[in-house]
Amino acid sequence: MGVMTFMRTKMGYFLVGGIAVVLALFVLEPLLQQGPAIFGSSRNTVGSIDGEEVKYEEFNQKVEQSVAQFKQQYGGEINDQMKAMAIDQAWQAEVAGVLLNKEYERLGLIVSGDELFDLLQGKNPSPLIMQYFGNQQTGQIDRAAVINSLKQQSKNPDLKKQWDMLQAEVEKQALQQKYASLIRNSIYVTSLEANDEYSNRNKLANFKYVNLDYSSILDKDVKITDGDYQAYYDANKKRFDNPTETRTIEYVNFSIKPTAADSAAIKAQVDKLAADFRTTPNDSLFAATNSDVKVPFVYLSKGKLDPAVDSVIFNYPAGSFYGPALSGNSYKLIKVVASRFSPDSVKASHVLIDPSKIGGDVAANKLADSLKTLLQGGASMAELAAKYSVDGSKDSGGDVGTFARGAMVPEFENAAFDGKTGDIKVVKSQFGIHVLKIEKQVGNAKVAKLAYIEKSLAPSSKTRDVAYKKASAFLNEVKGDNFNSLAQKNGYTVGVADRVVATQGYAAGLDNPRELIKEAYAADKGEVLPQVYTMDNGFVVARLTDVKPKGQLSLEDVKKQIQPMVMNAVKAKTLTEKFNKALAGSANIEAVAQKVGKAAAPVQNMVFANPIIPGLAQENKVVGTVFGSAVGKLSKPIEGDKGVYVVVAEGFTNPAPLGNTFKQKETMMLGITQRSLGAAFQALQDKSEIKDNRVKFY
């Protein structure tokens, strides 16, 4: 493809490319959004970042670019969850842009004119310049194309706008790299830290333990007081810092799955379709007209279809008919129109001619025929490509590499796979006229050209109407305080979507929940949401049951959540008392074990860095106590995650002295550096006030 054409069609994704750079650079996990704070804000304000407002019109353009990138990446269509991810990606890039720009200014980071020149057209080009002007096989930049494109800015306002966007992204990426280098260069590991880490991973401990499991006391025998809840809450307050507001929704889903009658009707339709399909004179047209899923009428290799179909269809000879067969949630009907053996991959080279540059298709075809004749006479593909080709492969002798089916446009692919090694063909595609030479064909596998029909099992309009009427009747009758009782009375199952964030595109049991989530964030706790929501698999009536605000959660907010842990804490008091009595007068762990009716269990070669007791669980407190104990001294009772323990260290094996402190430091530095970039960006967010109102708009 010509450079100019490529830029005209692809420049819309530069901003999205910048987003990807930010996220990759700072190793961002999907960050929890900040609290919505939607009331009292401007109707046109998506949010604010450290005092800077984010306006809907500008932000939505970035959302559309992000969504377009997702569609391109996933083949045209994306679901609600992917759309939410695209919106979140745009928001996180917006946050990064504001906060990082302030950091660059504070630190005095700039990209000089000489640096920018080098990144655009010098010896150290930006990855973005490589992406749009480079040959991916050779790694070489077409500098002549870069300079030519830059010169044409004065004649082409659209091209100038695209270059302005590209230059801004190149500069942004360079600043990000400088900032990342500052962070990385601030990391330091001391010799003491290196030796501690080495010891933690290599020092071995042998010990014995006796444990009394929390499950040895029945829950029904435990009485939890308000004081118990308060004591646990006070001791674990840091665990209850909620980084974002969340809401809990309960709902009833009125299913619209196909009924037995629906399935029978679809089966009858498919049987009639199969009879017509067997006798139709135009297989491909009939399939394209009647299939719910479009499969291209080209040679396909094994592994492209539904596994149940794929495992058998390539064993069928040409002329065979498959189906009707029910697989997954659809019936399949397939005619094997043709089959043959074909290469697995092809290595090829070409000259690409742009008809618009030499007077149109007639002139381009005439030139292509002349080049074909020259190549057949022994002329050099590399010399002809360098002189006549308009794409980046001209710098590598016209080489387009080795590719499998599905990697090239259909016209180019068919010519490459249908010929034989040494063939030279003239092929027209959306990019221009190709003079294609098949350099080498690799492998040999069966491929088939299939006329493919797939009919999905779908509910009838009657089934949908019945489900909707039930949902509407329930919504009309239900009140906030009788949601569960009314559902139980009617035999409906109540589902729960817990801890739902305002901007997420999914929720437990709900496959299309965005509208529901938006209205849940506009409701008060206890309210039934105002409408019947249409999901892919049913109609939903919902109620908002809980709101957990951003910040420190109260005891009431977490009381239900912490109930199992408080129960164990109360049990621990009883078990600790039992152990204290057993420890009194006991000289060794076997005596303690005998008094509590248990056996002392040995553990060999435990390391501090992997505190998992074999057969039990990860018990950090227990293993930590072992490594801090004197040999032969009985511990006090230890409250662990699974129960209460008493341990005794029997011996330690120290590792050989650390021979290469530098290598140990280097290994630790690598891990810390990877975490530090994300941690630095998170720290910038934590110290900034970020208001996120996206739930009002998306």
pLDDT digits (tens, 9 = 90+) for 373-419: 999 999 999 999 988 998 878 878 899 989 988 788 888 988 999 88
Q: Are residues 209 and 278 in the same domain?
A: no
Q: What is the DSSP string of 143-194?
A: HHHHHHHHHGGGG-HHHHHHHHHHHHHHHHHHHHHHHHHHHHHT----HHHH
Place of tokens 């004749």: 373
Q: Is residue 32's pLDDT more than 60? A: no
Q: Are residues 596 and 521 in the same domain?
A: no
Tell me the Cα Rg of the chain: 34
CA distance 479 to 495: 17
Domain-located, residue 496: yes
Q: Are residues 14 and 141 in the same domain?
A: yes
Place of tokens 């959540």: 561
Mean pLDDT, residues 649-659: 93
Domain-located, residue 682: no
Number of domains in the chain: 5
Domain-located, residue 314: yes
pLDDT of 135 reads 66
Mean pLDDT, residues 444-472: 93
pLDDT of 138 reads 62
Mean pLDDT, residues 415-426: 92
User: Residue 165 in contact with residue 15, Cβ under 8 Å?
Assistant: yes
Q: Is residue 12's pLDDT more than 60? A: no
Mean pLDDT, residues 486-504: 94
Q: Are residues 27 and 150 in the same domain?
A: yes
Mean pLDDT, residues 300-325: 89
Torsion of CA 137, 138, 141, 143, to 10 degrees: -120
Tokens of 141: 């930049």
CA distance 499 to 557: 12
Lowest mean pLDDT among 67-76, 176-185, 321-330, 546-555: 67-76
Q: Is residue 211's pLDDT more than 90? A: yes
Domain range for 384 is: 345-442
Domain-located, residue 675: no
Mean pLDDT, residues 196-206: 94
Residue (of 550, 531, 551) closest to 542 by Cα position = 531
Beta strands in 65-151 (DSSP E): none
Domain boundary among 407, 442, 477: 442
Lowest mean pLDDT among 90-104, 274-288, 289-303, 482-496: 289-303
Distances (CA, A) of 111 to 147, 169, 339: 20, 12, 59
pLDDT of 137 reads 58
Mean pLDDT, residues 414-433: 92
Q: Is residue 455's pLDDT more than 90? A: yes
Q: Are residues 393 and 284 in the same domain?
A: no
Q: Are residues 324 and 371 in the same domain?
A: no
Domain boundary among 406, 429, 456: 456
Lowest mean pLDDT among 131-135, 306-310, 582-586, 675-679: 131-135
3-state helix, strand, coil in the chain (%, to 5): 50, 20, 30
Q: Is residue 61's pLDDT more than 80? A: yes
pLDDT of 165 reads 86
Mean pLDDT, residues 345-368: 91
Mean pLDDT, residues 666-692: 90
Q: Is the pTM of this model over 0.75?
A: no
Q: What is the DSSP string of 211-273?
A: EEEGGGS-GGG----HHHHHHHHHHTGGGGEESS-EEEEEEEEEE-PPPHHHHHHHHHHHHHH
H or E element that contains 19:
helix 14-25
Domain-located, residue 47: yes
pLDDT of 25 reads 42
Cis peptide before 324, with omega less than 30 degrees from 0?
yes
Q: Are residues 391 and 297 in the same domain?
A: no
Q: Is residue 656's pLDDT more than 90? A: yes
pLDDT of 42 reads 56
Q: What is the DSSP string of 550-567?
A: SEEPPHHHHHHHHHHHHH
CA distance 491 to 489: 6
Q: Are residues 161 and 66 in the same domain?
A: yes
**CATH at 522:** 3.10.50.40
Domain-located, residue 228: yes
Query: What percent of the chain stands above pLDDT 90?
Result: 64
299-301: strand order across its sheet: 299-301, 445-456, 330-342, 321-327
pLDDT of 148 reads 83
pLDDT of 73 reads 77
**Helix axis angle, 157-185 to 80-107, nearest 10°:** 70
Q: State how far Cα 155 lies from the chain centre.
A: 42
Query: What percent of the chain stands above pLDDT 70?
Result: 93
Q: Are residues 48 and 165 in the same domain?
A: yes
pLDDT of 23 reads 42
Lowest mean pLDDT among 4-13, 227-236, 360-369, 555-564: 4-13
Q: Is residue 280's pLDDT more than 60? A: yes
Question: CB under 8 Å to 656, separation ≥6 — which residues?
Answer: none
Q: Is residue 5's pLDDT more than 70? A: no
pLDDT of 308 reads 87
Residue (of 549, 38, 514) closest to 247 by Cα position = 549
Q: Are residues 157 and 97 in the same domain?
A: yes
pLDDT of 136 reads 57
Residue (of 402, 408, 401, 440) closest to 427 by Cα position = 408
Residue (of 153, 125, 158, 161) closest to 141 by Cα position = 125
Torsion of CA 360, 363, 364, 366, to 10 degrees: 160
Q: Are residues 312 and 335 in the same domain?
A: yes
Mean pLDDT, residues 551-575: 94
b/e per residue, 239-256, with b = 16+ CB within 10 A?
Answer: ebebebbbbbbbbbbbeb
Domain boundary among 414, 442, 470: 442
Domain-located, residue 667: no
Please say whether the dihedral angle defined by the alpha carbons of residues 194, 198, 200 and 205, taken in this order, is positive or negative: negative
User: Residue 634 in contact with residue 608, Cβ under 8 Å?
Assistant: no
Mean pLDDT, residues 152-174: 88
* Average confidence score pLDDT of the chain: 88
Distances (CA, A) of 571 to 216, 224, 577: 9, 10, 10
Mean pLDDT, residues 587-592: 96
User: Residue 52 in contact with residue 163, Cβ under 8 Å?
Assistant: no
Q: Is residue 21's pLDDT more than 80? A: no
Helix/strand/coil for 327: strand
pLDDT of 139 reads 66
Q: Is residue 336's pLDDT more than 60? A: yes
Q: Are residues 39 and 170 in the same domain?
A: yes
Q: Is residue 271's pLDDT more than 50? A: yes
pLDDT of 146 reads 84
pLDDT of 34 reads 39
Residue 611: pLDDT band (50, 70, 90) is: very high
Q: Is residue 26's pLDDT more than 60? A: no
Domain-located, residue 668: no
